[in-house]
Amino acid sequence: MALWKGEERLAQGEAVQELCREMGHHRVTQWRWKVKTASKPGRKPPEEEVEDAMSQEVRAFDREKRGTWGEEPMYEELGGVVSRSLIQKVLDERRQAEGRVKRPRNRSYEFASPGVTYSTDFIAVRPRGRVLKVQDDRARYLLGFAHQDHWPDDDVTSFTEEILDKHGDPYFFKHDLGSEFRSGVFQEMLRRRIIVAVPSPPYYPKFNGKNERRNQGDRKWIAPTEADRPSVSRVVEELTQATLDQNTARRKDVLGGRTPAEVWESEARVTVDRVAMYSEWDRLREDILKRNPPNPSRQSAAEMEAMRLAAIVVVKRHQLVRYSRNPEVPEVST
| b/e burial code for range 107-116 (CB count within 10 A of at least 16 → b) | ebeebbbbbb
Tens digit of each residue's pLDDT (9 = 90 or more) over 222-266:
888 888 888 999 999 999 999 999 999 988 888 999 999 999 999
Q: Which amino acid is at 274?
A: R
68 with 149, same domain? no
Cα dihedral 251, 256, 261, 262 sign? positive
Name the pTM for this structure.
Answer: 0.72
Q: How confident is the model at residue 268 (pLDDT cuts 50, 70, 90)?
A: very high
Instruction: Give the pLDDT confidence score for residue 302 in this predicted structure.
Output: 92
Q: Which domain holds residue 58?
A: 46-97
Residues 164 and 122 in one domain: yes
pLDDT in tens, 277-297: 999 999 999 999 998 787 888
Within 8 A by CB and 6+ apart from 280, the residues are 314, 317
- pLDDT band of residue 198 (cuts 50, 70, 90) is very high
The answer on 115 and 256 residing in a single domain is: yes
Which of these three, 97, 127, 162, is where a domain ends?
Answer: 97
For residue 20, the model assigns a pLDDT of 47
Same domain, 123 and 238: yes
Return the minimum-mean-pLDDT range out of 70-74, 191-195, 213-217, 303-307.
213-217
Q: Give the span between the Cα atoms of 186 and 177, in whole angstroms.
A: 12
Task: Choose the weakest-confidence range: 107-121, 165-179, 300-314, 316-330.
Answer: 316-330
Is residue 16 assigned to a domain? no
Instruction: Write down which residue in 266, 297, 326 finishes a domain.
Output: 266
Give yes or no: residues 251 and 117 share one domain: yes
As a whole-number percent, the residues of the chain with pLDDT over 90 amount to: 52
On whether both 80 and 148 belong to a single domain, the answer is no
246-251 LR contacts (CB < 8 Å, sep 24+): 246/140, 246/142, 246/214, 246/217, 246/218, 247/141, 247/142
Asked if pLDDT for residue 331 goes beyond 50, the answer is: no
